[in-house]
Chains A and B, each alone.
Chain A
Amino acid sequence: MTISTSPPTRLFTFAAPSRFYALTGKLLPWLWALAALFAAAGLTVGFGLAPTDATQGEVYRIIYLHVPAAWMSMVLYLAMAFWAAIGWAFNARTASLLARAIAPTGAMFTVVALWTGALWGKPTWGTYWVWDARLTSEFILLLLYLGYMALVAAIDDVRRADQASALLAIVGAVNIPIIYFSVRWWNTLHQGASVSVTSSPKMAAVMLNGMLLMSLACWAYAFAVVFMRTRAMILERERDTGWVGALMGRA
């Protein structure tokens, strides 16, 4: 097998499991370093430099975890649905593996968003939970992640499992705009968006910087664990192939 080095680089060649495994192996140390760096910077800004909130006091500092986790829960779902659709449409093995690898991490971020939201809600709203539109739609997102993982695990045939779970992921993607716009469409206890692409932020710059740094840390973490999980899945599926044999020094 030869790798063409002539420009332009054919990106789709990285979809080959052997090349994906090699490339992500090189990226992982950098992703972990970035995650640690951004997390350290974000926590320093959030807990060391950002002032106490005038109305909420110190408890608002949950925002540096809650908002990035909530963003990641939605973005990862869209990524999962995208790769599941690509895997289904083009019968691309690595794309389907990526979708499978994203699901547990997306579910984890959803749990973190719900958990931190509950702990933030008690001192500010007086309750851990209300069935308002934002909280309920985020909870449905967790059910969609769990449903996707259960469906994948329930079907032994890999191709059929990828197809059925892709359908669920794609249909479930309709929930993402519902989560995002829920605070506009309905009268919710949850506050409106503090950060929007169409308007200036409604929070102090130092607080916003802390939140964005923590978001970058979550991005780097998510890329790292998704790549790690995909690499493990590739080894599981391809262990009898020649390239894995060569990689492991098998005769």
Chain B
Amino acid sequence: MTDFIFTVPSHTLFIVGSYAVAAVLMVIEVVQIRARHRKARLHAVRPPHDDEN
């Protein structure tokens, strides 16, 4: 196993910055889609125009 304590601190920052930003973007994407799907399901259970009937 390699040593996880990298010898150049700035390199650690670049690596962490790369993976952290990607992880955050992916989490945002999934949360946004889940919210959209939940909203679509709610509207499908009771369509908005039901109130007019």
Count residues of chain B with CB under 8 A from any CB of chain A: 31
Residues of A close to B33: CB separation below 8 A:
225, 228-229, 232
CB–CB B44/A57 < 8 A: no
Given the known interface contacts A119-B17, A232-B40, the answer about A52 and B47 at a Cβ–Cβ threshold of 8 Å is no
A-B contact count (CB 8 A): 97
CB–CB A119/B18 < 8 A: yes
Q: Which of B14, B22, B25, B45 contacts A123, CB < 8 Å?
A: B14
CB–CB A240/B47 < 8 A: yes
What's the minimum C-beta distance from B32 to chain A, rounded to whole angstroms? 9
Q: Which of B1, B14, B25, B45 contacts A49, CB < 8 Å?
A: B1
Residues of B close to A244: CB separation below 8 A:
44
Which residues of B are in contact with A by a Cβ distance under 8 Å?
1-2, 4, 6-8, 10-12, 14-15, 17-19, 21-22, 25-26, 29-30, 33-34, 36-37, 40-41, 43-47
Which residues of A are in contact with B by a Cβ distance under 8 Å?
47-52, 57-59, 61-62, 65-66, 69, 104-105, 108, 111-112, 115-116, 119-120, 122-123, 221, 225, 228-229, 231-233, 235-236, 239-240, 244-245, 247-250
